[in-house]
């Protein structure tokens, strides 16, 4: 017998055998196996990144259909006159008529946020603008309260 034999498991108990850790070697990975795992992981991450980017681009307003513009119509009910509506990134304010009706022309198609400004406050109304069509935002009631709305 030549010298003490080392078991593949670290010693149990309270004592630490420095000889075991000095001679320990990591398991051998078969040739090509590590590269294959890395390639698969990179491919999965690349596909996930492309899918997330496509979803983000689809949900944004950066890709409007060619000629993809429409109109938003609706009515604002306010205690007094003076409300205006607009859609960003075009901050042109459209005044609301005396009867509360409004039309915002030439808005890019897709999901848009309609803003109604009245008495120093603003309300957001999400709308889906059709390509070369008109969407009715409905009746938007604005109320000025003494306390912040929850």
Each domain of the chain, given as residue ranges in start order, spans 18-59, 69-141
Q: What is the pLDDT of residue 80?
A: 74
CATH number of 69-141: 2.60.40.10
Question: Which tens digit of pLDDT belongs to each residue from 103-113?
Answer: 999 888 888 89
Structure tokens at 85: 């509506």
pTM (2 decimals)?
A: 0.52
């Amino acid at each position: 017998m030549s010298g003490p034999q080392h078991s593949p498991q670290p010693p149990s108990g309270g004592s630490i055998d420095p000889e075991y850790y000095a001679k320990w070697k990591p398991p051998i990975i078969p040739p090509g196996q590590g590269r294959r795992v890395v390639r698969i992981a990179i491919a999965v991450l690349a596909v996930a990144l492309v899918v997330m980017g496509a979803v983000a681009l689809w949900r944004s307003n950066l890709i409007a259909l060619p000629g993809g513009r429409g109109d938003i119509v609706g009515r604002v009910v306010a205690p007094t006159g003076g409300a205006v509506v607009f859609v960003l990134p075009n901050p042109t304010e459209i005044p609301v008529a005396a009867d509360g009706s409004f039309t915002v022309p030439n808005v890019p198609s897709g999901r848009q946020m309609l803003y109604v400004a009245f008495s120093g406050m603003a309300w957001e109304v999400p709308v889906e603008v059709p390509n070369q069509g008109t969407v009715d935002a409905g009746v938007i009631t604005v109320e000025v309260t003494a306390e912040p709305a929850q």
